[in-house]
Structure 1
Amino acid sequence: MSVQDRINGYWTGRAPAYDDYQQRPERVAADTAAWSRVWSQALPVAPADVLDVGTGSGQVAMVLAGLGHRVTGIDLADGMLDRARAHAATVDNPPDIRRGDAVHPDFPPAGFDAVVSRYLMWTLREPRVALENWIRLLRPGGTIAVVDSTWFPRGVDIYDDAVRAALPLAAATSIQQTVTVLEQAGLTEVTLTPLTTILDLDREYGVADNHDVQLQYLVKGHRGPAELT
């Protein structure tokens, strides 16, 4: 079984509890409002063509669709895809949820205005290869925006040794390591924004079991207008 198969199996098993946690009735409206502001400020004006890599249960894809974007979400964990498709079926502007590899997304070059991810970089094999592939999917001037944090600076305890060894950012001790990946992949104007509004929500409502309340970040960059497709 490959490293990615192990990751897929883990997140398929986690999908029901993960999605239920994200849909908690006491917080879901506040989350949707806060993330809508985050993504509105990060992305081109809607409607834009946006690819959500590692869409998981589709929370980001649903927020982006709610903002009026044309959204495609991909993931390899079948359990997560089931949840994402169920959510997509409830709205008038549904994201297109597909099975797909975040490292090697199977789309023609220059087909998207933006590529986004949330909580993916830390569990992404070959992050620089992935970023280079995402850039190829962008139209000139397009945006890549990723949200993550340093979730496991003391080491990851949810995967086996083989998986941990294959994930360069899993035990990152600084978000600057993610910033560096975006810069080295060739993005321009890379910026780092602390998401204090999300931190405030975590402080108010708490976080998932075995997680700490900690600051998350938006890392954003652009494809240069002269890049080849």
Structure 2
Amino acid sequence: MTITETTLTDVATDGIQARLDEYWSGRAEAYHHRQVAGDRAPHDHALWLEVWGRALPPAPVRVLDVGTGSGYVASILAELGHEVTGLDSSPGMVAEALADAARRRASGRPAASFVRGDAVDPQGVGTDLDVVTSRYLLWTLRDPATALRAWMRLLRPGGTVVCVDANWYPGGFDRQVQVESTAGPDAFVEAYDADAEAHLPLATAADAEAYRDLFTGAGLTDVTVTRLDAVAELDRRFGMSPGHESRPQYLVTGRTPRA
């Protein structure tokens, strides 16, 4: 697969989404570095290889990783032998993913392809896919129900949606959070303000049932929610990134109805 960036014209341009895209661009370098470097990185890599390896069908299958960020999950799926496209609306994150993919290919490692686009309405990524994945995306989507239905339309009958997320802010956004960003430590507070909180339905979800209800409400079948306690164990051993608290994480899966 060719590593390219396609800038899609229908990436959401409303004020909130543009602000969030700018926030994640500012976070891209530090965010990626914390995932791939340091004492925790090899343990995370082994854990996520196992999680995604169990959750997806045997390789190779065609996968779209929405909200791919710097491409961490997309790269793991490529390592597992899948044909992967990662999609994100943050220019900085897509640039980071492309740079990492180039390094992987130069060293002979598998890599995904990446495009820039809107996770709520992905375009130009093909159809009749086998799997749509996301990690840490659902909570920050402005319209997760519409997004999920759009992903389902990209899948073949019997295709699978596999998402990992958590209840990150059940009490509302923490106005004291400081993060590593080129925009400064207050970048999260400035981007995820009260207006953003009001427009992100899952940001303040209190339990995993919110994710289950999302999947079943969209018409997915065989919906399962699995708690990922191994992630919490790594949080305990190695600590969290600045601005984050350890929260129970869940693997949520569902299938499109078969024809």
Normalised by the length of structure 2, the TM-score is 0.84
Distance 2:159 2:124 in 1: 15
Shift of 1:25: 2.7
- Of 143, 148, 151 in structure 1, the residue corresponding to residue 160 of structure 2 is 143
Distance 1:151 1:108 in 2: 29
2:236 is equivalent to residue 219 of structure 1: no
Shift of 1:143: 0.6
2:90 is equivalent to residue 77 of structure 1: yes
Q: Which residue in the other structure is 1:170 paired with?
A: 203
Shift of 1:185: 0.4
- Of 37, 40, 54 in structure 1, the residue corresponding to residue 53 of structure 2 is 40
Q: Which residue in the other structure is 1:2 paired with?
A: 15
Quick one: which amino acid aligns to residue 135 of structure 2?
R
Quick one: which amino acid aligns to residue 112 of structure 1?
L
CA contact (8 A) 1:109 1:136 kept: no
2:239 is equivalent to residue 206 of structure 1: yes
Distance 2:195 2:239 in 1: 32
| 4+ long deviations beyond 6 Å | none
SS in structure 2 of the partner of residue 9 of structure 1? helix
- Of 130, 137, 162 in structure 2, the residue corresponding to residue 113 of structure 1 is 130
2:194 is equivalent to residue 161 of structure 1: yes
- Of 41, 63, 79 in structure 2, the residue corresponding to residue 50 of structure 1 is 63
Shift of 1:146: 0.5
CA contact (8 A) 2:34 2:41 kept: no
- The CA deviation string for residues 197-227 of structure 1, in whole angstroms up to 9 with x for no partner, is 212111111111222222110000001112x
Structure 1, unpaired ranges of 5+: none
Quick one: which amino acid aligns to residue 256 of structure 2?
R
2:139 is equivalent to residue 122 of structure 1: yes
2:34 is equivalent to residue 21 of structure 1: yes
Distance 2:19 2:137 in 1: 15
- Of 93, 113, 116 in structure 2, the residue corresponding to residue 96 of structure 1 is 113
Normalised by the length of structure 1, the TM-score is 0.95
Deviates more, 1:69-78 or 1:13-22: 13-22
Shift of 1:171: 0.7
Shift of 1:141: 0.9
Q: Which residue in the other structure is 2:213 paired with?
A: 180
Quick one: which amino acid aligns to residue 4 of structure 1?
Q
Distance 1:100 1:123 in 2: 15
Distance 2:126 2:237 in 1: 42
Q: 1:28 to 1:190 in 2, by over 3 A?
A: same
SS in structure 1 of the partner of residue 64 of structure 2? strand
Distance 1:179 1:109 in 2: 26
Q: Cα RMSD over matched residues? A: 1.3
Shift of 1:108: 6.5
CA contact (8 A) 1:187 1:221 kept: yes
Identity %: 47
Shift of 1:109: 6.5
